[in-house]
Amino acid sequence: MSLMVSAIGQGLLWAVLGVGLFLTFRILDFADMTVEGTFPLGAATAVAAISNGMNPILATLLAFIAGAAAGLITGLLYTKGHIPILLAGILVMTACYSVNLRVMSGRSNVSLLGKETLFKSHFLASLPHYFDSVVLGAGVMIIVTTLVIYFLQTELGQGFIATGDNQTMARSLGINTDNMKIMGLMVSNGLIAFGGALVAQNNGYADVNMGIGIIVIALASIIIGEVAFGDLTLNQRLVAVTLGSILYRFVLLIVLKLGFNATDLNLVSSVVLALCMMLPVFKNVLNFKHILKRGLDTND
């Protein structure tokens, strides 16, 4: 039972990554590698700030700003520097590695032992084990998802969606598509760094290598949510990301129960994601419906 609660808590805490990546991967329609650098950047920023006596809430918000700044750089390289988005993301991700070591004073792992964190507030600390991350994660996801849904329904948000949908048309309607992409990358990476700050406080440390495979985890929440819930509206899909993130944690739980090591999880995550993304192909190749029909149709 506590394993289930833990999985739900982890799913909720990590879900903000999925929502962040949704803005670039699903709406702007490109894969942004920056997130592999901004996740540990957020963790490092929050941990360093807390270690220096900053209030954990402010430190978490500072992590958002740090992530947004990294997103701004990727956006400028991509739109003004005409560097392909994949490479622009990899450049900033690589640069972040050095920055993160600087932020953590040259150490590859900084502990929060004995320091204040979001999880040590009176209310959260009074909850049963693992329920702290469920409550905090749920609170964060309700606020973040509501804000994103509201934003997408504004005039600016509609211009943002149109940019990812049809750039030529967006420009011909006076939408500054460069600014929209930069804004998307900033908010997206801000959210990812924010997620990094949450996870670091939950784990009790920041590690310079904690960004490896982050894009796969964030994608998994998005894709699993979509595969599990089928045809949805845009708003419903954003909610499905959170549910996808929880389902993904259950998958990991099962994999661990099957006897895999925690170190195998990156391999497992990639396989799960690849399978989910290939589902439409399998459906066509295996032609489920046709086989089913033939089995049922006696006149044939």
**Near another protein by CB under 8 A: residue from 173, 228, 267, 271:** 173
Count interface residues toward another protein (CB under 8 A).
22
**Near another protein by CB under 8 A: residue from 8, 12, 104, 170:** 170
Return the number of the residue (95 or 161) whose C-beta is nearest another protein: 161
Residue 217 in contact with residue 15, Cβ under 8 Å? no
**Long-range contact list for 254-257, CB < 8 A, 24+ apart?**
none
Which residues within the stretch 145-164 sit at the binding site for another protein (CB under 8 A)? 150-151, 153-159, 161-162
Return the number of the residue (92 or 238) whose C-beta is nearest another protein: 238
Residue 160 CB, nearest distance to another protein (Å)? 9
Residue 29 in contact with residue 180, Cβ under 8 Å? no
Residue 25 CB, nearest distance to another protein (Å)? 14
Region near another protein per CB under 8 A, out of 37-45, 83-91, 168-176, 223-231? 168-176
Residue 213 in contact with residue 192, Cβ under 8 Å? no
Residue 29 CB, nearest distance to another protein (Å)? 9
Measured between alpha carbons, how far is 196 from 35 in angstroms, rounded to an integer?
Answer: 10
Return the number of the residue (26 or 249) whose C-beta is nearest another protein: 26
**Nearest by Cα to 212 from 85, 74, 108:** 108
Residue 145 CB, nearest distance to another protein (Å)? 17
Return the number of the residue (106 or 174) whose C-beta is nearest another protein: 174
Count the residues in the chain.
Answer: 300
Site of tokens 């006897």: 259
Return the number of the residue (234 or 291) whose C-beta is nearest another protein: 234
- DSSP letter string over 179-216? HHHHHHHHHHHHHHHHHHHHHHHHHTEEETTTTTTHHH
- DSSP letter string over 6-67? HHHHHHHHHHHHHHHHHIIIIII-S--TTHHHHHHHHHHHHHHHHHTT--HHHHHHHHHHHH
Residue 191 in contact with residue 20, Cβ under 8 Å? yes
Binding mask 267-296 for another protein (x = CB under 8 A): ------------------------------
Q: Is 172 in the site for another protein (CB under 8 A)?
A: yes
Measured between alpha carbons, how far is 109 from 124 in angstroms, rounded to an integer?
Answer: 25
Report helix, strand or coil for 109: strand
Region near another protein per CB under 8 A, out of 61-69, 174-182, 270-278, 283-291? 174-182
**Near another protein by CB under 8 A: residue from 106, 114, 174, 259:** 174
Return the number of the residue (29 or 264) whose C-beta is nearest another protein: 29
Which residues within the stretch 209-268 sit at the binding site for another protein (CB under 8 A)? none
**Near another protein by CB under 8 A: residue from 90, 97, 101, 171:** 171
Q: Provide the CA 157 distance to its chain's centre, in angstroms.
A: 20
**Near another protein by CB under 8 A: residue from 4, 87, 146, 165:** 165
Residues that bind another protein in the complex, under the rule CB under 8 A: 150-151, 153-159, 161-162, 165-166, 168-176
